[in-house]
């Protein structure tokens, strides 16, 4: 406990304040807040267990309309004291639970209990990161955590960053700073104030053909248009082809276009493919483009001694996206955006008289306002800090390695199955495969159908995607292994379940 400077511990929350008579309007903060939370938390914990038991599997069985009708019924029941229990039970029953070994479709992780508990503390206290006087300790904590994460990436001390809602927002931030800096230098104008000058060369962003769709969306939001994104061809491992990037940059230069950014993906969402980061960095530098590395998924490799070499070169990026709600086992949201040099943040700086007056900053009251696109912002750094202090990088690295091992075991089980076809060996913790029906023409329909059958029966949540390209035969199933407590035998059983459903689906006319 840090003693008050004047020695008094006086607070408006001393017991002179009468206890709230109606528990339904009790507040979560102050000394009395813990006591107010205790009974309702017991209700929530009981309902979580009851709902999960009722579900009895990775997701509720039935069609979406059946579940929706149940939700509508629960919401239309009269309110009252049991709303928390009733609706929490429903939420737990009606969840796709990534803690179930058969829920393995998306980059949707089972959060660590300790991280959820830390996040509860944040919810109870409700700090907001847009001004020091709403988040005194949480402001310092976020800054210090970001310094630690910047070191993890290999960034120098001049790095800076912010917690975000995830890769989507982080990618938008990277491309915002790229636009303002690169177009600003090329035109001699301040883009963030005057907009894109009419006579500016056409801005271009280079990203692999399998980069995340949020890159296109960011280009649209930034007034560059989705067509500003040049899809760079990939090699057979779905990594950006460095030679193709070099050609695309040269061709753009030949047309008098402005290469604003190269977006390299470190771990694509579907296959975990990692673009050649050092080559991307060299080409971006050569053409005066910003390098943003989207490591929303692959950033987790930084935690593992075994996998970290895969993302070597990430430290060359001007900016990076990391998502701790993927390989980091945090409840959403736990996105991180980092820049290598704090000065490149300049175009986002904001002064709001009511949040960060200049004299406050001069007097030593720091502000994170100008680091974020958001104003009110949860203290999402806290749960990450608690997790890192609890497990350390090495403890988290063991979880990453366990999931990588599961992916390797799963791929082996697919390879060993006569009716299943593996797309490629796993890079991180995900892999694509498909069921091969006797009639290959029916492959797409059977795989799409078997996945919905697994959902309908409440048996498994398996991903479905398509390989890049045109024409039929591209539908693939996907397993994303993010549950470090799943066993290889369970993954094998899941794969056999998929094959059984494939056979059943194939029987249909």
Q: Footprint of ligand PLP on this chain (CB under 6 A)?
A: 107, 166-168, 212, 214, 265, 268-269, 294, 296-297, 323, 335
Looking at beta carbons only, is 36 or 280 nearer to ligand PLP?
A: 280
Least spacing, CB of residue 466 vs ligand PLP, in Å: 16
Percent helix, percent strand, percent coil in the chain, to nearest 5: 50, 15, 40
Backbone φ and ψ for 308, nearest 5 degrees, come out as -55, -40
Residues 86 and 75: beta-carbon distance below 8 Å: no
Q: Buried (b) or exposed (e) across 221-258, using 16+ Cβ within 10 A?
A: ebebeeebbbbbebeeebbbbbebbbebbeebeeeebb
Which run of H or E residues covers position 358?
helix 358-362
List of residues 6+ apart from 349 with CB closer than 8 A: 370
Minimum CB–partner distance for residue 215 and ligand PLP (Å): 8
- 294 or 315: CB nearest ligand PLP: 294
Q: Which is nearer to ligand PLP, 205 or 258 (CB)?
A: 205
* Residue among 241 and 270 whose Cβ is closer to ligand PLP: 270
Question: Whole-angstrom distance between the N-terminal and C-terminal Cα of the chain?
Answer: 71
> CB 166 → ligand PLP: shortest distance, Å?
2
Contact in structure between 55 and 70 (CB atoms under 8 Å): no
Q: Which is nearer to ligand PLP, 164 or 387 (CB)?
A: 164
- Reduce the DSSP state of residue 476 to 3 states and report it: strand
Q: Which is nearer to ligand PLP, 107 or 494 (CB)?
A: 107
Which of 293, 292, 319, 309 lies closest to 397, judged by CA?
A: 309
Nearest approach, Cβ of 111 to ligand PLP (angstroms)?
14
To the nearest whole angstrom, how small is the minimum distance from the Cβ of residue 318 to ligand PLP?
A: 17
Query: In whole angstroms, what separates CA 111 from the centre of its chain?
Result: 12
Q: Which residue is nearest to ligand PLP (CB)?
A: 166
* Cβ contact 215:167 at 8 Å: no
Please identify, using beta-carbon distances, which residue of 265 and 356 lies nearer to ligand PLP: 265
Q: Which is nearer to ligand PLP, 270 or 506 (CB)?
A: 270
Which of 347, 367, 346 lies closest to 357 in space, CA to CA?
A: 367
Q: How far apart (Å, rounded) are the C-alpha atoms in residues 132 and 128? A: 8
Any idea how long the chain is? Answer: 509
Q: How far is the CB of 297 from ligand PLP (least distance, A)?
A: 4
Q: How far is the CB of 325 from ligand PLP (least distance, A)?
A: 6
Q: How near is the Cβ of 169 to ligand PLP at its closest, in Å?
A: 6
């Amino acid at each position: 406990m840090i003693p008050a400077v004047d020695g008094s511990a006086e607070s408006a929350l001393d017991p002179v304040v009468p206890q709230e008579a109606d528990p339904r309007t009790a507040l979560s903060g102050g000394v009395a807040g813990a006591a107010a939370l205790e009974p309702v938390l017991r209700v929530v914990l009981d309902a979580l267990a009851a709902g999960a038991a009722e579900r009895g599997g990775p997701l509720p069985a039935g069609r979406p309309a059946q579940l929706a009708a149940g939700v509508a019924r629960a919401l239309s029941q009269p309110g009252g004291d049991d709303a928390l229990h009733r609706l929490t039970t429903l939420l737990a029953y009606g969840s796709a639970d990534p803690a179930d070994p058969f829920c393995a479709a998306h980059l949707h992780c089972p959060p660590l209990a300790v991280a959820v508990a830390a996040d509860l503390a944040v919810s109870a206290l409700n700090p907001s990161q847009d001004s020091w006087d709403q988040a005194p300790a949480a402001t310092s904590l976020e800054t210090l955590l970001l310094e630690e994460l910047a070191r993890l990436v290999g960034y120098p001390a001049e790095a800076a960053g912010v917690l975000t809602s995830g890769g989507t927002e982080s990618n938008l931030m990277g491309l915002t700073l790229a636009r303002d800096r690169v177009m600003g230098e090329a035109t001699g104008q301040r883009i963030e104030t005057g907009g894109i000058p009419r006579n500016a060369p056409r801005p271009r962003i280079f990203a692999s053909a399998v980069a995340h769709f949020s890159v296109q969306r960011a280009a649209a939001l930034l007034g560059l248009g989705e067509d500003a994104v040049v899809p760079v061809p990939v090699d057979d491992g779905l990594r950006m082809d460095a030679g193709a990037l070099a050609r695309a940059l040269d061709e753009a230069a030949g047309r008098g276009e402005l290469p604003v950014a190269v977006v390299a993906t470190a771990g694509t969402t579907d296959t975990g493919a990692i673009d050649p980061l050092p080559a991307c960095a060299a080409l971006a530098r050569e053409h005066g483009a910003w390098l943003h590395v989207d490591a929303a998924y692959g950033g987790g490799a930084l935690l593992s001694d075994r996998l970290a070499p895969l993302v070597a070169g990430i430290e060359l990026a001007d900016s990076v996206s990391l998502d701790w709600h993927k390989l980091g086992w945090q409840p959403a949201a736990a996105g991180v955006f980092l820049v290598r040099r704090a000065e490149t943040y300049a175009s986002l700086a904001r002064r709001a008289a009511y949040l960060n007056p200049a004299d406050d900053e001069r007097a030593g009251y720091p502000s994170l306002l100008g680091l974020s696109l958001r104003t009110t912002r949860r203290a999402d750094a806290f749960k990450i800090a608690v997790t890192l202090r609890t497990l350390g990088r090495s403890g988290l690295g063991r979880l990453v390695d366990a999931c990588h091992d599961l992916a390797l075991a799963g791929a082996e089980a697919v390879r060993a199955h006569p009716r299943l076809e593996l797309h490629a060996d796993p890079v991180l913790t995900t892999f694509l495969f498909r069921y091969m029906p006797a009639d290959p023409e029916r492959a797409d329909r059977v795989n799409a159908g078997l996945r919905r059958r697994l959902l309908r029966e409440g048996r498994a949540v398996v991903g479905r995607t398509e390989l890049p390209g045109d024409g039929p035969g591209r539908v693939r199933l996907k397993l994303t292994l993010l549950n470090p407590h799943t066993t290889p035998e369970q993954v094998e059983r899941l794969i056999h379940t998929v094959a059984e459903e494939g056979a059943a689906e194939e029987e249909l006319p």
